[in-house]
Structure 1
Amino acid sequence: EYMGRRIAGGNIRTFLLQRHLVIDHRLHQLINSGVTQVVEIACGLSPRGHRFCQQYPQLTYIETDLPDMARRKQHLLTEHQVLSERHRVMPINIFADVGEL
């Protein structure tokens, strides 16, 4: 973080928080204008999909990530019983040259 402040003038925590706030704000705008499906690429362990599905019952939210992370998230969300037809986690391997993603 020290180097981030020296080189870029900020730190990674502030950058990530701002990034999430901007994404959330834009998603709210899009959903309120009629968007009914979101596909989030590289979702990680973000709770965004769950939060947005709770807030917008008409929304279908598909979270994607590399296979290992997708399995981990799928497991955690299944344990908490928050997945549904409207809220899914799918693996996608953006590094694959051939075969299934």
Structure 2
Amino acid sequence: MWAMPQNSVVIRYGAYESCGVVKHSTFRLEGLQAALNESGYQCVLQPTCDWNMVELVINGECVYTCNIKQLEFGGDGKLDPLCKRALAAVKDAY
């Protein structure tokens, strides 16, 4: 059985509409991943069937959720208030 590394965060993300096309895309997750990686967390991306949804899961427990369309497109996550809230939720969970 495969074990999750310590300090890992599962990012579950759903498909969303962009330019008239609905699909799973990670462009809006780049800032979130950058913020988590910079703080020493390892991200594991996991597509889900829930549209517009982002969930951060640690040890099987959802610690943060938001609408993927509210995350800033690209970037490093430093100016995105949702990335700051997500990072705080992850730190509180550990």
TM-score bracket for the superposition, by shorter chain length: under 0.3
State which structure, 1 or 2, has the greater radius of gyration over its C-alpha atoms: 1
| TM superposition score normalised by structure 2 | 0.25
The structure with the greater share of residues assigned to helix is 1
The structure with the greater share of residues assigned to strand is 2
